[in-house]
């Protein structure tokens, strides 16, 4: 990675895996100017996961689409945006075991999301079930 100040190479001074958010936090130091800064690295799921729809077609996984579906189910809550973002992180971490060769079934996405919403908010869970349930 290059320095945000001068554009020269940097080295990693410290690194920590963030289990809850499935991210890697890194402290970097520029070898040229000595600038120290932090980065957060996340997985680009849309480039690595495909969702197998009920019609048999594959689509790229969309974190944004998942966020919108959860947010719409939580709109009755004051902190819906923040809470939906946290639930998306939880759902994605719970989806990982269901991914086989980069493919996940749409039904697994719905089931895992439904379970997370059910544990968090019954009204939101009922709303999600009405639109996405089988």
Q: Give the model confidence (pLDDT) of 78-116 as tens digits.
A: 999 999 999 998 999 899 899 999 999 999 999 999 999
Are residues 29 and 94 located together in one domain of the fold?
no
Q: Which of 9, 10, 58 is nearest to 38 (CA)?
A: 10
Are residues 86 and 34 located together in one domain of the fold?
no
Are residues 86 and 23 located together in one domain of the fold?
no
Are residues 82 and 32 located together in one domain of the fold?
no
Are residues 35 and 52 located together in one domain of the fold?
no
CB 51 within 8 A of CB 45: no
CB 104 within 8 A of CB 51: yes
82: region left, alpha or beta (phi > 0 left; psi from -120 to 50 alpha): alpha
**Residue-level pLDDT, tens digit, the chain, 134 residues:** 899 999 999 999 999 988 776 789 999 999 999 999 999 998 888 888 999 999 999 999 999 999 999 999 999 999 999 999 999 989 998 998 999 999 999 999 999 999 999 999 999 999 999 998 75
Are residues 92 and 52 located together in one domain of the fold?
yes
Q: What pLDDT score was predicted for residue 22?
A: 72
Q: What pLDDT score was predicted for residue 133?
A: 73
Helices (H) and strands (E) in the chain, counts: 5, 6
Using only C-alpha atoms, what is the Rg of the chain?
19
Q: How does DSSP classify residue 9?
A: B
Point out which residues pair with 12 in neighbouring strands: 28
Residue 68 inside a domain? The answer is: yes
Distance from C-alpha of 86 to C-alpha of 48, rounded to nearest angstrom: 21
Residue 4 inside a domain? The answer is: no
Are residues 25 and 56 located together in one domain of the fold?
no
Are residues 14 and 33 located together in one domain of the fold?
yes
Q: What pLDDT score was predicted for residue 130?
A: 93
Distance from C-alpha of 28 to C-alpha of 129, rounded to nearest angstrom: 44
Q: What pLDDT score was predicted for residue 44?
A: 83
pTM: 0.74
Q: What is the domain extent for residue 31?
A: 10-42
Are residues 37 and 60 located together in one domain of the fold?
no
Number of domains in the chain: 2
Are residues 90 and 74 located together in one domain of the fold?
yes
The two tokens of residue 100 are 């086989």
Residue 95 inside a domain? The answer is: yes
């Amino acid at each position: 990675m290059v320095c945000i100040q001068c554009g020269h190479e940097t080295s990693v001074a410290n690194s920590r895996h963030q289990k809850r958010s499935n991210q890697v936090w890194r402290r970097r130091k520029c070898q040229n100017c000595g600038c120290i800064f932090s980065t957060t690295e996340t997985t680009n799921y849309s480039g690595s996961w495909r969702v197998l729809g009920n019609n048999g077609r594959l689509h790229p996984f969309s974190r944004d689409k998942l966020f919108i579906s959860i947010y719409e189910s939580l709109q009755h809550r004051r902190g819906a945006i923040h809470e939906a973002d946290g639930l998306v992180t939880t759902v994605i971490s719970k989806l990982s075991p269901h991914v086989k060769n980069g493919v996940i079934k749409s039904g697994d996405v719905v089931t895992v999301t439904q379970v997370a919403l059910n544990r968090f908010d019954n009204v939101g869970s009922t709303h999600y079930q009405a639109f996405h349930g089988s």
